[in-house]
């Protein structure tokens, strides 16, 4: 009796063992089928797009798109040129500042130097004007 039950349970185990690989294979094949369907859909979509681009409307759209891309590229080129110019100006300004700093370190200028008189006078005018605006008078 026990042998019969063991035989039956072994047969059931054998049946489940052969089902598992089949289910795995079915899942794998289903994945491949979905992949192929996706590729077929992409091919159909590309074909429809080619057909649409061959129409008058498609050609007009292509021209407009090319001109839009050209305009965008020109705008990007102008922006890059401005950025490059600002970068070079900044580098020059920094070099000038560093040169001036090293020169001032070598040859210090006192605050009461007569060559600074005009600059100090302009600074005072601007300061007086700002003070006047801040405190309600001119």
User: Do 6 and 49 fall into the same domain?
Assistant: yes
User: Average of pLDDT values for 94-108?
Assistant: 91
Cα pseudo-dihedral 31, 34, 35, 40, rounded to 10: 160
Tally of structural domains, the chain: 3
Residues 87 and 128 reside in one and the same domain: no
Q: What is the pLDDT of residue 110?
A: 83
Pull the structure tokens for residue 8: 């039956």
Q: What is the pLDDT of residue 8?
A: 65
Question: Quick one: pLDDT at residue 109?
Answer: 84
Cα distance from N-terminal residue to C-terminal residue, the chain: 119
The pLDDT value recorded for residue 22 is 80
Q: Residues 99, 124: one domain?
A: no
Q: What is the extent of the structural domain holding 120?
A: 110-138
99: pLDDT strictly greater than 80: yes
| 2, 41: one domain | yes
């Amino acid at each position: 009796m026990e042998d019969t039950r063991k035989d039956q349970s072994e047969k059931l185990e054998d049946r489940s063992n052969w089902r598992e690989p089949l289910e795995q294979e079915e899942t794998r094949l289903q994945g491949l089928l979905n992949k192929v369907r996706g590729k077929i859909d992409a091919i159909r979509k590309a074909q429809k797009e080619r057909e649409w681009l061959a129409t008058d409307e498609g050609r007009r759209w292509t021209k407009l798109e090319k001109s839009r891309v050209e305009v965008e590229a020109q705008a990007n080129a102008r922006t890059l040129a401005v950025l490059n110019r600002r970068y070079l100006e900044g580098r020059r300004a920094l070099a000038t500042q560093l040169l001036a700093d090293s020169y001032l370190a070598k040859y210090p200028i006192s605050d009461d130097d007569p060559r600074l008189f005009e600059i100090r006078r302009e600074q005072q005018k601007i300061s007086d004007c700002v003070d006047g605006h801040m405190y309600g008078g001119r």
